[in-house]
């Protein structure tokens, strides 16, 4: 909060405790940032944003980078490259490329795949 204040962006940034209404927050967001400095195994934030057709910006490493490369390449920036991050955020806020409806990584598909693995293990 102090950094946001010092940078003069406190009025444009929301820093909150954990919330249960993330879907609603994403839906009204102009841009979602996923800026983990350590690569994550799976970038769920990317899928959540894309599922709501919201632009997302994240570092090109780990699961976040892989999902962005596949689903929304415009949202990838080199890991920890703050200058490129700021530049790309401004570009996406001006005019974000359209986001195609999510046809992969849906909950029902993942559940079916998990059940198929269980069936294979139990049956085989």
Cα distance between residue 96 and residue 74, in whole Å: 8
pTM over 0.85: no
Q: Tell me the two tokens of residue 22.
A: 């993330």
- 51's CB contacts (< 8 A; 6+ apart) are 102
Q: Give pLDDT tens digits along the chain (124 positions).
A: 898 899 898 898 888 899 999 999 999 999 999 999 999 999 999 999 999 999 999 999 999 999 999 999 999 999 999 999 999 999 999 999 999 888 888 889 989 999 999 999 998 6
pLDDT value at residue 115 = 96
The torsion angles phi and psi of 37, rounded to 5 degrees, stand at -80, -20
Residues 72, 96: contact at Cβ < 8 Å? no
- Walk me through the domains of the chain, giving residue ranges and CATH numbers: 2-123 (3.40.50.2000)
Q: Tell me the two tokens of residue 93.
A: 């806020």
């Amino acid at each position: 909060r102090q950094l946001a204040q010092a940078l003069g962006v406190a009025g444009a940034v929301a820093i909150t405790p954990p919330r249960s209404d993330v879907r609603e927050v994403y839906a009204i967001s102009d841009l979602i940032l996923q800026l983990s400095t350590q690569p994550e195994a799976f970038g769920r934030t990317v899928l959540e944003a894309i599922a709501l057709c919201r632009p997302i910006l994240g570092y090109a490493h780990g699961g976040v980078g892989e999902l962005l490369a596949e689903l929304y390449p415009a949202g990838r920036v080199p890991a920890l490259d703050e200058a490129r991050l700021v530049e790309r955020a401004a570009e996406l806020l001006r005019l974000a490329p359209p986001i195609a409806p999510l046809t992969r990584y849906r909950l029902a598909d993942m559940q079916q795949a998990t059940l198929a693995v269980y069936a294979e293990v139990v049956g085989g």
